[in-house]
Amino acid sequence: MSDPVAHTSSQATQMRGLDAAQKARVIYTQARSEMSDRLWRAALGDGSSDADPETGNARGTDRHGLPFSLEALIGMLEGDKSAASPLAGMAHPHGQGDMTSDGGDGKRRDGSGWGSGSGDDGAAESTGTLSLGNGPNARYAPMLGAAASRTGLPAPVLATIVHAEAAKDGEGRWMPYSRNPRSSAAGLGQFLSGTWEGEAEREGTWLNATARANGWLDDRGHVRGDARAELLSLRYDPQAAIETTADYARANLDGLRRAGVRIGEGVEDLAKTAYIGHHLGRGDAVKFLTGSLDPARARRLLDAQIGSAQANRRIEAAGSAVAAHRSWLMDYVGRTIKPAVFAA
């Protein structure tokens, strides 16, 4: 556990641009990311001990067992008040909401969400055009469009990944300050600390460019220890979370193709495959999609998501841990990943 005093001190610069209420929310989310969740879980009466499949730490979110989150409570009390971006005052090499951008390969893409990315993800433009209407998440449309333009992924693909990951209030608003009380996952994309740092260190990503512009990387391209807190706080910034979700999805789809995974060209196929990559991480996603996931790993993943008691029942019914985990995840993906909901 890092020193909370040092952690708070390292964020002093970016905190200056926030008002008192916004500062309170940032301090709250960051403090919770550094402390045990035992008191909160005890208050909820949730005694489960599921483990994060990537880190082995205890985990749990609103969608996976916790009856009510503190973030949801804050959302109900405050309404949909937009907090100032933690990017305020920081070097920002990309601009805010540029709907026409270079995807890193020299090709210009428009804001429809379609382009000539390395995954050859083109399809009918109407199915790749984002529509959030006047709904509770309409304010995220420009960010999703910009990230889609830059990476060549359909904007509805990105929207449905965020929708599956972010905590939501009673009206369905995505909550930028979503925090998993049992792991390090945070923000609209629910990125674990290690994954977020990896995206900051990976050449060509939005987060890498931001980290370099702010001097958060050392000469070897690694995150500096004294900059780690500032970098991790960007998970709570909607633009940073959406751009990084897009980069991670692009890298996962490209990596899965290189590994021999066949991915359909339709928006729904892309969304489901990208989400599996986001949910499992590329290594496990390759094994899952090629039918080579180890039974012990499948059991651990299933335990982490639904608890050992339910996992035991599913495994007994399915005949194996691999079959039970596949059945659970594909059912969840089928019910949750619906990009058509976000397509014009």
pLDDT tier at 9, thresholds 50, 70, 90: very low
The alpha carbons of the chain give a radius of gyration, in whole angstroms, of 19
Q: Is the pLDDT of residue 84 over 50?
A: no
Residues constituting the chain: 344
Spatial contact of 184 and 29, defined as CB atoms under 8 Å apart: no
Q: Reduced to 3 states, what is the DSSP secondary structure of residue 71?
A: helix
Q: Is the pLDDT of residue 108 over 50?
A: no
Q: DSSP per residue over 223-289, as a string?
A: BPGGGHHHHHHGGGSHHHHHHHHHHHHHHHHHHHHHTT----SSHHHHHHHHHHHHHH-HHHHHHHH
The two three-digit tokens of residue 157, written as one number: 């693909």
Q: Reduced to 3 states, what is the DSSP secondary structure of residue 294?
A: coil
pLDDT tier at 141, thresholds 50, 70, 90: very high
Angle, vertex CA 111, rays to CA 106 and CA 114, nearest 5: 70
- pTM of the entire predicted model: 0.68
